[in-house]
Amino acid sequence: MDARDKQLLRSLRLELCTEVLVDGLVIQYLYQEGILTDSHVQEIKSQTTSQRKTMMLLDILPTRGPKAFDAFLDSLQEFPWVKEKLMMKRKEMTVQDPAAVTEIAPCILKTSPTDQQLNKLARRLGPEWEHIVLCLGLSHTDIYRCKVNHPHNLQSQIVAAFVLWRQRLGKKATIQNLQAGLMAEEVDPSVIQYMLG
């Protein structure tokens, strides 16, 4: 999924959870279109409330390839106002010129991110954080440890993983390397800007 669309889903997450009931046609349509697998459907249906079901769907969608966002829009036949809003927001985001993203000074790129910066970064990341830290050289075991050490707090898991990366790589754990990892996972450039802001 396009980084911009991931960002869009994240920015409207709470609103979508209150407006969209995924029990009905939404899941069935996404399943029919091959966006969701059997196990995804089961995982979503196993959630206890409709809001949790929608959240689960919103966690899964960004990992389902380039067609996922458009298929999601198509699935919103019962919610034309939500579809309208998503399409409007998407247009607004496209209008913003990507060249307007400010360049990061080379002296900053060579420094290691501070705890405060890692905290800000963790606030903006979702389920894609695991792929990012794998890109940066951590192992699945490292990720598992971070999850076990902070079982109920996703942000703490993410911060712990980045702190571990920084400890392990020392001077090589630069903002430049971090940015490369984020870009490899198609994280929106605004996330880095926010972290450094």
What CATH code is assigned to 3-95? 1.10.533.10
DSSP-derived secondary structure letter, 177? H
- One digit per residue, pLDDT tens: the chain, 197 residues? 777 788 888 888 888 888 777 767 899 999 999 999 999 999 998 988 888 899 899 989 988 888 899 999 999 988 888 888 888 888 776 655 444 445 778 888 888 899 999 999 888 888 788 988 988 899 999 999 999 999 888 899 999 999 999 999 998 899 888 888 888 787 877 888 888 87
Q: What's the CATH number for 106-196?
A: 1.10.533.10
Going by the DSSP 8-state scheme, the letter that residue 172 receives in this structure is G
pTM over 0.75: no
Instruction: Return the amino acid letter for 87.
Output: M
CA atoms 27, 143, 128, 136: torsion sign:
negative
At 71-84, the pLDDT tens digits run 999 999 888 888 88
Domain pair 3-95 / 106-196, same fold: yes
Query: Average model confidence (pLDDT) for the chain?
Result: 85
Question: Residue 90 and residue 72: Cα distance in Å, rounded?
Answer: 13
Residue at 114: amino acid letter: T
pLDDT of residue 7: 84
**Per-domain boundaries in the chain:** 3-95, 106-196
CA distance linking residue 190 with residue 197, whole number of Å: 10
Q: How far apart are CA 103 and CA 167, in angstroms?
A: 27
Residue 100 has a pLDDT of: 44
